[in-house]
Amino acid sequence: MECGNKKLAIWYALIVLISYIGGFMTIQINTVTKSITSIANIEPATIGLIIAFVSGITIIGGVKKIANTTSKLVPTMVILYFTICAYIIFKNYTLIPSILLDIISSALNTKSFGIGTLTTLLIGMQKGIFSSEVGLGTGSIATAVADSDIPAQNGIAQIFEIHFENLIIATITTLVVCMSNYQNIMLTDPNGIEITLQAFNYHLGYFGVLFIAIIISLFGLATILTGYYYGESSFKFLKKTNKFDIFVLKFITILIIFWGSIASSKLLWSITDILVGILAIINIYAIFSLRKIVIEEYKGWQK
Long-range Cβ contacts of 281-287 (<8 Å, 24+ apart)? 282/8, 282/11, 282/12, 282/15, 282/137, 283/12, 283/135, 283/136, 283/137, 284/135, 285/8, 286/1, 286/3, 286/5, 286/8, 286/12, 286/137, 287/137
pLDDT of 189 strictly over 50: yes
Read off the pLDDT of residues 211-264 as tens digits, 9 standing for 90 and up: 888 888 877 777 788 888 888 888 888 888 888 888 888 889 888 888 888 877
279 backbone dihedrals φ, ψ, rounded to 5°: -60, -45
pLDDT of 27 strictly over 90: no
Among 146, 157, 144, 134, smallest CA distance to 283 is for 134
Mean pLDDT of 168-172: 85
Residue 22 Cα distances to 34, 227, 278, angstroms = 18, 9, 15
pLDDT of 193 strictly over 80: no
160 — pLDDT class (breaks 50, 70, 90): confident
110-119, 227-236, 265-274: least confidently modelled range: 110-119
Q: Count Cβ atoms within 10 A of the Cβ of residue 116 and give its class: 0-12 exposed, 13-18 middle, 19 or more buried.
A: exposed
Read off the pLDDT of residues 128-158 as tens digits, 9 standing for 90 and up: 666 666 667 777 776 666 666 677 777 777 7
Largest CA distance in the chain: 60
Arithmetic mean of pLDDT over the chain:
79
As a whole number of Å, the CA-based R_g of the chain is 20
2 — pLDDT class (breaks 50, 70, 90): very low
Quote the pLDDT of residue 232.
87
Cβ-count burial 212-243 (b if 16+ within 10 Å, e if not): bbbbbbbbbbbbbbbbbbbbbbbbebeeeeee
171-175, 186-190, 199-203: least confidently modelled range: 186-190
187 — pLDDT class (breaks 50, 70, 90): low
pLDDT of 1 strictly over 60: no
Read off the pLDDT of residues 59-95 as tens digits, 9 standing for 90 and up: 877 666 666 766 777 777 888 888 999 999 999 999 9
57 backbone dihedrals φ, ψ, rounded to 5°: -60, -45
Quote the pLDDT of residue 123.
64
How many C-beta neighbours within 10 Å does residue 256 have?
21
pTM above 0.85, yes or no: no
Mean pLDDT of 42-63: 82
Taking a C-beta distance cutoff of 8 angstroms, is the pair 126, 276 a contact?
A: yes
Question: What share of the chain in percent tops pLDDT 70?
Answer: 81
What's the 3-state SS for the chain? CCCCCHHHHHHHHHHHHHHHHHHHHHHHHHHHHHHHHCCCCCCHHHHHHHHHHHHHHHHHHCHHHHHHHHHHHHHHHHHHHHHHHHHHHHHCHHHHHHHHHHHHHHHCCHHHCCHHHHHHHHHHHHHHHHHHCCCCCCHHHHHCCCCCCCHHHHHHHHHHHHHHHHHHHHHHHHHHHHCCCHHHCCCCCCCCHHHHHHHHHHHHCHHHHHHHHHHHHHHHHHHHHHHHHHHHHHHHHHCCCCHHHHHHHHHHHHHHHHHHHHCCHHHHHHHHHHHHHHHHHHHHHHHHHCHHHHHHHHHHHHC
Residue type, 122: L
Quote the pLDDT of residue 128.
64
Among 39, 12, 15, smallest CA distance to 197 is for 39
Mean pLDDT of 121-131: 63
100 backbone dihedrals φ, ψ, rounded to 5°: -65, -40
